[in-house]
Chain A
């Protein structure tokens, strides 16, 4: 069957890529601070290699009913391998001694928190950002800024994203409450309920909710004001009043749609 041969070939190709990655990573000279990441990276790569071998074993059983599953698993494997090559390998492939400053900062940050203390430190060249995956977070930092202490505090901000991820359920619940509060505050006093409203919903997708009308440009100054004036306060009434002021100043769209 042709699909079986194609899948076998694809799995052999992926296996070859993964073997190459293992060989490359094993012999690359890296700073000692990057060693925990190399161990975690190789463990992940070997899991993918196992998956590759399992696919080949399943294909060799000759059982046709498994082809759809092996096809899906192969496709998943290809995506994982792409992620390894285009992101996770970048932290190791061009590692050099200069990396030690940033690696030490990240390691220290991780060790300060119970949930991140075992996470390995790694980063690659790019604008300051993070992919806050639990277990294997990946930081980005610009080339020149890596070589000094001046911009190191920016890692604290990125680390905040990782902490959010570690406490996702609690924080999502808080964000949900806040989003609901904003939604209720922005809800028009009256709403149309006729063909014109249906037509508007049609032309603007389904984003009829007033909260959804906010774009990032209009929300940015509100959140800036929130962080400076509102969040330090714990009184709900104060928060409510200040939020109203922020919105009145920064979001100049009608408070209600006129009914006709």
Chain B
């Protein structure tokens, strides 16, 4: 375990980025579910807005990388973070086909972005479904990074 955490800093950065985004997804999802259940949420509006901003920013970056990669013959996003590029590639190489536990659908990303843009007026049930989908995509991606960072076999 001596070298854990430094063998591949790209994986390490990617893992931290994914964990941050997953945390933001959880915060928004919990807020929406508590609203649906009629339970008061103790999360401050600032925290919630920060989670929304962080998720929207990530979705924007990912969409940009997907668009860049989509314009090349081999679906490679030039100049993009390699781990983000490989996530983007999943949406282009096997669109809609399940890979492992999740399937990669571009339409779902667009739907989620639209729901986040709608803010409090968004349909909470649709938002929860969309967030759950994107979380499963990121969890699968983070799992691969964690295996590298923590020297897991």
* A86 near B1: Cβ-Cβ < 8 Å: yes
- A 96-128 to B, binary, CB cutoff 8 A, 1 in contact else 0: 000000000000000000000000000000100
Assess the A87–B5 pair: CB atoms within 8 A. Answer: yes
Produce 1/0 per residue, B113-153, CB < 8 A to A.
00000000000000000001001000100100010011000
Residue B103 interfacial (CB < 8 Å): no
* Least CB distance, B119 to chain A, in whole angstroms: 20
Q: Is A140 an interface residue (CB 8 A)?
A: yes
**A179 contacts the other chain (CB 8 A):** yes
Asked whether B6 lies within 8 Å of A72 as measured between CB atoms, the reply is no
Q: A95 to nearest B CB, angstroms? A: 17
Please give, as numbers and ranges, the residues of chain B lying within 8 Å of A211 by CB-CB distance.
76
Surface stretch bound by B, among A18-26, A76-84, A226-234: A76-84
**Of all chain A residues, which has the CB nearest B68?**
A176
A207 touches B74 (CB 8 A): yes
**Total number of residue pairs linking A and B with CB closer than 8 Å:** 99
- Chain A's closest residue to B33 (CB) is A65
With contact pairs A65-B33, A87-B4, A130-B9 given, residues A72 and B79 touching in the complex (Cβ less than 8 Å): no
| Chain A binding surface, main DSSP class | helix
Q: Does A149 contact B (CB under 8 A)?
A: no
How far apart sit A78 and B106, CA to CA, in the bound complex (Å)?
30
B15 closest partner in A (C-beta): A79
Report how far A86 CA is from B148 CA in the complex, Å.
13
Contacts of B142 in A (CB 8 A): 79
Q: Are A133 and B4 in contact (CB under 8 A)?
A: no
Q: Say if the beta carbon of B101 comes within 8 Å of chain A.
A: no
Q: Could you tell me if B30 and A209 are in contact, using CB atoms closer than 8 angstroms?
A: no
Query: Given A129-B6, A209-B74, A212-B76, is A69 in contact with B33 using a C-beta cutoff of 8 Å?
Result: yes
Q: How far is the CB of B64 from chain A (nearest CB, A)?
A: 10
Q: How far is the CB of B73 from chain A (nearest CB, A)?
A: 7
For residue A58, CB closer than 8 A to chain B, the reply is yes
Q: Which residues of A contact B139 (CB under 8 A)?
A: 72, 75
**B residues less than 8 Å from A179 (CB atoms):** 78-79
3 nearest CB pairs, A to B? A176-B79, A87-B5, A176-B78
15 additional contacts (CB under 8 A) given A173-B79, A177-B78, A211-B76: A63-B33, A65-B33, A66-B30, A66-B33, A69-B29, A69-B30, A69-B33, A72-B25, A72-B139, A87-B6, A138-B6, A172-B80, A175-B79, A179-B78, A208-B74
Subset of 25 A-B contacts with CB under 8 Å:
A61-B39, A63-B39, A65-B33, A72-B22, A72-B25, A72-B135, A76-B23, A79-B19, A79-B146, A83-B15, A86-B1, A86-B4, A129-B9, A131-B12, A131-B13, A138-B6, A140-B6, A172-B80, A172-B81, A176-B79, A177-B79, A183-B78, A206-B75, A208-B74, A209-B73
